[in-house]
Amino acid sequence: MKVTRRDLLVWSAGATAGLLFTPVPWKLLDDVSIWSQNWPWIPQPTRGPVDVKLSFCTLCPNGCGMRVRMAGGWPVGVAGAGCHPVSRGALCPLGFAAHQLNWHPRRLSRVCYRGNTSSWGEARVAFTKACGEGPIMIIDGHPGRAASSAFETFVQRRGSYRVVPGQETRALAPYGTWSGIPAAALGYDLENAGTIVSFGAPLLDGWGTPGRLTRLWAERAAGLADPQLHLIQVEPSFSRTAARAWQYVTIRAGGEGAVAEGVARVLLEEHLVPARGPMPSLTLVEVAEQAGVSTDAIRDLARTIVARPPVVAVADDNNPAIAALNVVLGAVGARGGIVRRSKHIRQDVCAEAAIRGMRAVLIDSTVPWDFVPQTDAEVFRFAAWDGGSTKADWLLPAPGFLEDLTDVPTAPTSGMETYAVAPSLAEAPTEVQSAAQFLSSIDPTLVTVDKVIHTRCSEIFRQRMGTLWGQDVTPVAKFVSVQKLEEELWKGAVWIGEPHHAGGLRCQLNDWPEAIGPARTSNASPPWLVPVLPSLASKLYQESGLRESPEGRSA
Amino acid sequence: MSARYGMVIDLDRCTGCGACMMACAAENNVPPVPRATPRTGLTPMLVRKVSNGGEGVDRREVFIPIMCMHCERETPCVGVCPQQAVEVDKATGIVMQMPQRCLGCRYCMTACPYHARYFNWWDPQWPAGMEKALNPGVAVRMRGVVEKCNLCHARLHSATQKAAATGKREINPADYVPACVEACPTAAIRFGNLADKHDPLSLEVRSPDTFRFLTRLGTEPKVYYKSKEAWVRALAESNSGSGVETKRG
C-alpha cells in the first residue's frame, strides 16, 4: 500500500484531534504552569516537630508574655500569652513578627571598628587597654536585669554605671524627686482608676505594657455610652488614642503643662478636691493663651475629670506641672493613682548625653539607638541591628530576639512587682556576643547572668512572698524547693510580688513647679525602641499607610 | 454538622494598632517584598482609616479592618473563576482559594466588591536563612496567583487533626481561632460559628449596631461589623473612597 501525502496529512490531523481527547496535553500544560511557578529557589518552610514555649518579649523593658511556636528548634510564630498578669495575652504589633527580626538585612554580624571589619579579640584588647588607662562608663537601657548586676560589678572599681530611662519612667521622675523614692520603684494603678487624663501619652498606642491599657480600655470603656473608665486625651494632634478617647481636648503644641496648671487652679479655686496647696502661677487667661483653649473649656475639663474618681493624670514625659496636678488630685500614693510597687529598688543615675572625663563608654544593646553620647571617649556600642550612621568607634554584634538568656524585671509603668526569665530559644550566630559575655571574657571572675538569675530565684523562694503565674497560679509559699520554683520560671511563669504599697508614697508641694514642654512634639508614631522594624512591619505600614516607619532615622 | 464560620469586628474597639495585619502576614508566610507599592502589595488583612470629615472636636475617626468577607450567596469570585480555583467550602462556609489551580487571570479581583483579593506579582523571597522562621503549617504561594484571607484554614486543619486524634468528629472551638482574632489586643475581632445558635456570635450578629458592607449586592457576607456611631454604620452602603485615608483608597 502506497502512503500518499494526503494519507500523512489525514493521519496527522486525526492524531492531533485524538490527542486533544486524552489528558496528555492538559496534564503537560498544568505541569508547565506549576513548574514555572515553583522555582527551586522559592524557600520552603522548615519541617520539624512543632512545640509551643512560653517566653517574654525583650524588644523593650515591658517584657510582655509570649507563646512562641517552635518548629525544628526555631521560633516560627509568636502570640500573646494569656497567663501573663500584666500584658494579659496582648502584644504590640512588632511582637508578632519579632522572630523574623533576626534575619533582618541590617542585622549586625561582624565586629566593626570605625567602619572597618575587626575582631572580638581586637575589641577585647582595646577595651582592656581602656580599662587600664582611665575610668569607663557602662550605659544600660533595661536596668534591673541580671546583666545589669554584672555591669555594676564590673565598673565598681573601674568607673560608673548609668541608665537611659524610657519616657514612661521619666514621667515618674518628679514624684521621685519630691518623695525621695526612686522613680523606678513607682508605677500606675490604672486598674482601679475611674478617670485617666492623658497629656499626650499614647495610652492606646504602645504606651507602657501595650496590652495592659488596651485590655483595660476594651473591658471598661470601649463603645460604652457611659463607660466605667473615662479616658480623656489632651493633645495637639488627633492621635489614635485621641480618636478612641471618651473625650478629646485639642490644645496648642507644648501646652500640656499649662493646661495642667489651669485645671489645678480651677480644682483649688472651686474646692473640687480636698487638697490644699500652692496656687499655680498662671492665671486661667494666661493658660488659655498658652494652650489655645478657652477658659470655659478648662473649667469644664476640671469639673469633668473629678466626676468619676479616682483620677490620675498621665504625662508623656517628665513634666512637673502634670505631676503637681496629680498631687492636687490626691492621686499620689492612692488607689487608682501613682503607687509604690517595690521597697527594694535603689536610685539609678541617668546618663547624660554629654559624657566627659571617661576613657571609654560601653553602651549595651538595650539602649535605644537614638541615644548618642557626645564624648571624646572611645565608644563600644553593642547592637543586634544597625540603626544607621552611628558615631560609635566599635560596633559590636549582640544577640537578637530570643537569642540570649535574660531575665525580665518589672515593667516601667506596672503597679505590681514582677519577675520572669526569658531563656534563649533561638540559636545565636557564632559571631555575636552580649555585653555581659564580653565583660566576662575580660574579667573571668565576673558573675554570670545565669548565676544572678539563680540568686534572684533563691531570694524569691527565701522571702516566700507573692505568687507564680504560669499554667496555674501558685503561691510561692507552696513551693517545696528553690529548684522547683526556678524550673517554673524557666518554663515561662511570672512571679508577682505582694500588692503595691499605696501608702508608702507621699509628695508635698511647696511651690508650683515650672511646666516643661514635651520632648516629643508629635506622637504620630509610637516610640519603638528597636532601631529597625521587622521587614513585614515596614511593608504593611507602608502599604496600608497606617503608621510612619522609623526606618532611616539616624543616630 | 456544617459550620458557617464568620466574624464580628467591633469598630468602636479598634484602635488601629495593626496587630491583626501583622499576625495575619506572619501566620500566612506573606513575603516582605520591598518593591511592592500600596497598589501591588499583598495584605490579606488591611486596616483602613476613615474619618467623618469633621475638624477639631467634631472630628471622628474609625479604623476598619478589611479582609475577604466570605460571601455566602452568589459569591462573586467563585462565579468568574475559569479554573475552579475558588470555591465555598460547604462544610465550613469558608471561601477557599487554591493557588495550585489559579492561572492568575485576576477576574476574581475585578469581581470582588470589597477589593479583598491580591495578586502575587513576585516570587516570594526572604533574607537568606529566614525560611527557618516561616510557619510550617502554611505553604508558600508561587508568583502569578491570587491570594486572600482563608480564615487561617491551616489552623482549622490542625484543629481537625487534633479532634480526629482523640476520635472526635467535631473540633473544639478553642482550637480554631484565626491569627487576627488571637492578636487583637482589644478583642475587637470576634470569631465563631454562625450556624451554631448557642455561639455568642450568632446572637451578636442580630444586634441593631451590627451591619455588613454592601448588603444590597445580596452576597450575604459572613464578616459583620459593629458600631454604635451612626456615621460609621452609614459607611456600610457607600461605594468606597469617601473619607478613606489609606494609600490604597
Q: Which CATH number goes with the domain that contains A274?
A: 3.40.228.10
Q: What pLDDT does residue A152 have?
A: 94
- Please give the CATH topology (third level) of the domain spanning B5-237: Alpha-Beta Plaits (3.30.70)
In a domain, A43, yes or no: no
| Any domain includes A33 | no
> Are A96 and B125 inside 8 Å of each other by CB?
no
pLDDT value, residue B68: 96
CATH number (domain holding residue A81): 3.30.200.210
Q: Of the candidates A231, A220, A202, A230, which has an alpha carbon nearest to the alpha carbon of residue A526?
A: A202
Q: For position A516, what pLDDT does the model report?
A: 63
Interface of B with A in 156-185 (CB under 8 A): 179, 182-183, 185
Of A103, A125, A142, the residue that ends a domain is A103
**Whole-number pLDDT of residue A53:** 94
pLDDT, position B236 = 82
Name the strand (E) or helix (H) holding A490. helix A482-490
Are both A281 and A336 inside the same structural domain? yes
Closest to A140 in 3D by CA, of A365, A311, A291: A365
**pLDDT score of A548:** 65
Q: What is the DSSP letter of A2?
A: P
Q: Is B48 on the interface with A (CB under 8 A)?
A: yes
A327 and A182 within one domain? yes
A365 and A264 housed in the same domain: no
Q: Which of residues 61-80 of B touch A (CB under 8 A)?
A: 61-63
Residue position matching grid coordinates 525602641: A529
Task: Give the residue ranges of chain B where pLDDT is below 50.
Answer: 240-249
Check whether residue A292 and residue A358 sit in a common domain: no
Report the half-sphere exposure of A345 (CA within 13 A, side-chain side). 25
Cα–Cα distances (Å) from A40 to A27, A43, B129, B196, in that order, read: 21, 8, 15, 44
Chain centre to alpha carbon of residue A269: 40
Are A335 and A189 within one domain?
yes
Containing A234, the helix (H) or strand (E) segment is: strand A230-235
Can you tell me the distance from the alpha carbon of A85 to that of A413, in angstroms, rounded to the nearest whole number? Answer: 14
Same domain membership, residue A467 and residue A390: yes
Grid cell at residue A47: 519541617
Contacts of B126 in chain A (CB under 8 A): 43, 103
Closest by alpha carbon to A204, among A544, A546, A540, A526?
A: A526
Cβ of B140 under 8 Å from any chain A Cβ?
yes
Residues A250 and A390 grouped into a single domain: no
CB–CB of A126/A378 below 8 Å?
A: yes
The number of angstroms, rounded, from the C-alpha of B12 to the middle of its chain's C-alpha atoms is: 18
Q: How far does chain A reach from its first CA to its final CA, in angstroms?
A: 90
Same domain, A217 and A312: yes
Residues A361 and A496 in one domain: yes
pLDDT for the residue A346: 75
**Which of A42, A225, A250 lies at the smallest CB-CB distance from B124?**
A42
By C-alpha distance, the chain A residue nearest B138 is A45
Dist. CA A24–CA B103, nearest whole Å:
19
pLDDT at A500: 63
Report which of A370, A402, A397, A422 is spatially closest to residue A529, judged by C-alpha positions.
A370
Is residue A120 in some structural domain?
Answer: yes
Residue B60: its pLDDT value, please? 87
Residues (pLDDT < 50) of chain A are: 521-524, 552-555
In a domain, A382, yes or no: yes
Number of domains chain A contains: 3
Query: How far apart, in whole angstroms, are the C-alpha atoms of residue B14 and residue A71?
Result: 32
Contact B248 A90 (CB under 8 A): no
Among chain A residues, the shortest Cα distance to B14 is held by: A244
> Is the same domain home to A63 and A155?
no
Pairwise CA distance, residues B34 & A78, whole Å: 23
B124 touching chain A per CB within 8 A:
yes
**Residue in B62, B133, B137 closest to A75 by CB:** B133
Is A13 within a domain?
A: no
Q: Which residues of A touch B127 (CB under 8 A)?
A: 103-105, 535
Cβ–Cβ below 8 Å for A44 and B27 = no
Q: Tell me, yes or no, whether A375 and A441 share the same domain.
A: yes
Q: Are A331 and A337 in contact (CB under 8 A)?
A: yes
Q: Would you call A189 helix, strand, or coil by DSSP?
A: coil
Q: Could you tell me the residue ranges of all domains in chain B?
A: 5-237
- Measured between beta carbons, the chain A residues lying within 8 angstroms of B34 are 535, 539
| Residue A359 is assigned to a structural domain of this protein | yes
Q: Checking DSSP bridges between strand A247-250 and strand B95-97, what pairing results, if any?
A: unpaired
A130 and A263 both lie in a single domain: no
Inter-chain Cβ pairs, chain A and chain B, closer than 8 A: 205
Enumerate residues 17 to 36 of chain B having a beta carbon within 8 A of any beta carbon in chain A.
Answer: 17-19, 21-23, 25-27, 29-30, 32-34, 36
Q: Which domain holds residue A58?
A: 50-103
In degrees and rounded to multiples of 5, residue A313 shows phi and psi of -100, 135
